[in-house]
Structure 1
Amino acid sequence: MLFQNCNQPVIALLKDTRIPFSVLLLAYALLLNINLLLHPPTVNFTASAPLSRLLLGWLGSPVLAGGIALPLLFILLVWLQAVILNGIINHHRLVEAANGLPGLFYLLLIALFNEHLYLSPPFFAVFGILVALSIVYNSYYTDNFTLFYDAGFAVAVTSLFYLPALLMVLFIFIGITVMRVIKWRQWVVVIMGVLTPYLLATTWFFLTDHLAEFASGHFLHITNSVVQTAYHAPEWLYKTGAAAAVSLSSLLIAQQQLAFSVVKVKKMFNIVIYLLLVSALTFAFTNQYTFGPQALLALPAAIFLAIGFYGIRRTFFAELLHLLLVGMVLYFQYFKYLQL
Structure 2
Amino acid sequence: MINQFRNLNPVNLLILAAYAIFMRLAIFLNLPDQLNFEFLEPYTKFFIQIPLTNYFSPAGNIFFATVLTFIQAILFNRIINNHGLLAKPSYLPALLYITGSSLFLQFLILSPALICNFLLIWIMDKFLKIGKTPNAMMTMFDVGMIIAFGTLIYFPFIVLLIMLWLSLLLYRSFNWREWIAGFIGFLTIFFFVAVFYYWNDNIAQFYKIWRPLVNKFPSTLQINFSDYLVLIPVGLIMILASLQLRENFFRSFISTRKAFQMLFFMFIIAIISFYTKPDFRVYHFLLSVPPGAVLLAYYFSNAKKRWFYESLFAVLVLCIQYFLFV
Q: What does 1:1-340 correspond to in 2, within 5 Å?
A: 10-41=1-32, 42-46=34-38, 48-50=41-43, 57-61=50-54, 64-66=55-57, 68-116=59-107, 118-142=109-133, 143-213=135-205, 215-216=207-208, 218-220=209-211, 233-239=224-230, 243-287=234-278, 290-335=281-326
Aligned twin of 2:219 = none
> Residue 197 and residue 266 in structure 1: after superposition, are their counterparts in 2 closer, same or farther (change >3 A)?
same
Consecutive unaligned residues of structure 1, counting only runs of 5 or more, are 1-9, 223-230, 336-340
Matches of 1:131 and 1:26 in 2, distance apart? 22
With normalisation by structure 2, the TM-score equals: 0.86
Are 1:236 and 1:291, in contact at CA under 8 Å, matched by a contact in 2? Answer: no
Are 1:36 and 1:115, in contact at CA under 8 Å, matched by a contact in 2? Answer: no
Paired amino acid for 1:91: N
Aligned twin of 1:3 = none
194-203 or 20-29: which moved more?
A: 20-29
Matches of 1:318 and 1:89 in 2, distance apart? 21
Secondary structure, aligned partner of 1:160 = helix
Are 1:13 and 1:19, in contact at CA under 8 Å, matched by a contact in 2? Answer: no
> What are the superposed Cα offsets for residues 9-52 of structure 1, whole Å, 9 maximum, x if unpaired?
x2111112233544332222111112232233432344635558
RMSD of aligned C-alpha atoms?
2.8
Are 1:117 and 1:295, in contact at CA under 8 Å, matched by a contact in 2? Answer: no
Are 2:61 and 2:109, in contact at CA under 8 Å, matched by a contact in 1? Answer: no
Secondary structure, aligned partner of 1:65 = coil
> Residue 312 and residue 243 in structure 1: after superposition, are their counterparts in 2 closer, same or farther (change >3 A)?
closer
Are 2:41 and 2:152, in contact at CA under 8 Å, matched by a contact in 1? Answer: no
Matches of 2:21 and 2:85 in 1, distance apart? 27
Deviation, structure 1 residue 294 = 1.5
Deviation, structure 1 residue 214 = 5.2
Deviation, structure 1 residue 118 = 2.1
Deviation, structure 1 residue 220 = 4.8
Aligned residues: 315
Deviation, structure 1 residue 86 = 0.8
With normalisation by structure 1, the TM-score equals: 0.83
> What are the superposed Cα offsets for residues 155-190 of structure 1, whole Å, 9 maximum, x if unpaired?
111111111111111112111221122211101111
Secondary structure, aligned partner of 1:112 = coil
Are 2:35 and 2:58, in contact at CA under 8 Å, matched by a contact in 1? Answer: no
Paired amino acid for 1:238: L
Paired amino acid for 2:149: V
143-152 or 52-61: which moved more?
A: 52-61
> What are the superposed Cα offsets for residues 73-114 of structure 1, whole Å, 9 maximum, x if unpaired?
000111111111111110000123111111111111111124
Are 1:149 and 1:193, in contact at CA under 8 Å, matched by a contact in 2? Answer: yes
